[in-house]
Amino acid sequence: DTKGPEVRVGTIEGEGMAVSPGQKIILTGENIVGNAERLPIIPGSVLSCVEPGMMVRFDDGYVAFRVVSCSPAGVGVEIGQYP
């Protein structure tokens, strides 16, 4: 069993952030303070590996995102409860 890359969410506003199924967020490799609209991902280079339709999971798989778009501005994802 091999371990994947260490991917982390960067700094976000406040003490945390609640997310809800159906919510859309942009994942970015930019060095920003994240909010409910844009989340910084470290390392940002991993964002070039995703494509629309792919699933991205965080928090040991408890939070799932479906990639809906990819652009130079970032990766658009929709939060869901996916299998």
Contact 43, 30 (CB under 8 A): no
- Residue 27's pLDDT is what? 95
- How do residues 13-36 score in pLDDT, each as one tens digit? 998 888 888 999 999 999 999 999
- How do residues 51-67 score in pLDDT, each as one tens digit? 999 998 877 777 889 99
The values of phi and psi at residue 41, to 5°, are -115, 135
- Alpha-carbon torsion 61, 62, 67, 70, what sign? negative
pTM of the entire structure?
Answer: 0.85
Q: What is the mean pLDDT of the chain?
A: 88
- DSSP for residue 72: T
- Residue 35's pLDDT is what? 93
* 13: β partners: none
